[in-house]
Structure 1
Amino acid sequence: MSTLTVNGVRHTLDIDPSTPLLYALRNQLELNGAKFGCGMGQCGACTVMLDGQPVFSCLTPVAACEGRKVRTIEGLGSAEKPGKLQASFIKHQAAQCGYCIAGMVMRAQALLEQHPHPSEAQIRSHMEPNLCRCGTHMRIIAAIKEVAEGSQA
């Protein structure tokens, strides 16, 4: 048995503690925002926040999450009421295929919570581990900058 606190809700799961967090989120909790991309921590599609830090959930075992706070894209907002960063991504049409976007948003959210007004260079450096195969990197950066500059409504 493992106990996870995800988006402020405590869950007790009958799961092998070595199971990657990604599988617990998707298969046990039906939180499907984080995606399986590469399974090797090289693409970032599975990025979630663990105690405020971005982590690759495909590499993070459930056991490493005991007593810690997991936050997923579902914890930021909903389709009906998106969070500021989610709304900015929508406004800037940062998603093309959309596969990487939940991970991108989570990595960006972690940055903005740690550094509310990062420079473009800081944004680029922080976002580097996450890949967008469709090439919307400039729209992603614009969406993050808008929130960082406080011009997002």
Structure 2
Amino acid sequence: MLSPVLTAATLVVLLPLGAAAGLFSTTGAGWLLLYWDAGPWPRTLAVAGLLAFLALLYCACRLCAWGGRRPSASVAFAAGFLASVIALVGYMPGGDLVLTNHITHNAYLFGAMLVLMLAIIRSDVFAFLTGPRATAPAVPRGYQSMRSSE
């Protein structure tokens, strides 16, 4: 009885946590182009920062699945993240809210979606489609030593 309640509570916490991560990271990604025209070093630092963020996002999503002890935790985190990102890139009459149509911003958007998708798949969300994993049969303790003495 307690397990479904804890699962629901975990998902209720991870959904807004993912939304907050999406809100702050999308706002931060908007700043990637601040010094883009200053030369190659700021561009290199912006791309390196983007790659570091994507690695951290992957680890955060996998950590949610590990901490929640089920893949639905990573799905809740990713759903909250993507909901806030979609809300922030909505088109307004004056243009996008936070991000522009720049290759770095597009790399942020599509990279975040790809990273979250990979993290969810690696969390065995679709394990029910393949059935239970095959495990090696248990070998009695004395069997190995008896076979080696022959």
Quick check: which one's helix share is greater?
A: 2
Quick check: which one's strand share is greater?
A: 1
Greater relative CO, 1 or 2 (CA 8 Å, sep 6+): 2
State the TM-score bracket (shorter-chain normalisation): under 0.3
TM-score normalised to the size of structure 1?
0.25
